[in-house]
Structure 1
Amino acid sequence: MSRHILVVDDDPQGLAVLKEIFAELGFQVMGVGSGDEATALLESDAPIDLVVTDVYMPGVTGLDVFQAARKRDPHLPVLYITGFIPPPLQEILAKASRTLVLQKPFELSALLRALDQVIPLGAGGAPAREAG
């Protein structure tokens, strides 16, 4: 069974790169360019095993996306990709499980390590397959 990932970034180039990386890692990728689109997907029945989101976006922010993810499933992993971690987010992360921040710019190896902490990856970086 493949894993489904929701990638949120208001920068079209950043979104395209992230979608390509996650697709190559074997994820089924849904990429959206706004927090509004992300929260709508999180409120739907769309399969989502991991949320990767930017923090600073106009309107609905990455923190809002995090809250929608936790409302959907308190254990849904969230990976923030950002250049800066604001104090309110630092406080939330100190208490939240299965949530990490990866600071921009980052290398692929750092992304793989962060992913492996929030959603176990199989050999070669592919999402771990579930027995069944």
Structure 2
Amino acid sequence: MSAFATLILAVQMLSALGMIGLVLMQHGKGADMGAAFGSGNSGSLFGASGSANFLSRSTGALATVFFVATLALAYLGNARPVSTGSVLEAVPAAPAVTAPAVDSTVPTAPAQGVNQVPAK
């Protein structure tokens, strides 16, 4: 694998791990409803309104990096080497096959079969 493909693979893995972390840090739409009844703490690291914008924008940016890296890896994996010619040009020519020579001086025995007439 080339160094460029290895670098793209590392970027893809890091962006995937970053996305997983950012998605797990975000709270769902129903989290505010639970906090209203006293079952949870609505405060967060970035504040009540700022966290949604920062985390969602960061997740979107990492998703874009992930998809670009995925497309680059797919392109590199599908790239074909430059052909130097036809496949048939690289195959050596097969030697001509000839039938074995029959020696006419060797007598052959007559075949004995059902349709032969006995000699009188």
TM-score (norm 1): 0.23
**Greater strand share, structure number:** 1
Larger RCO (CA within 8 A; separation ≥ 6): 2
TM-score (norm 2): 0.24
**Greater helix share, structure number:** 2
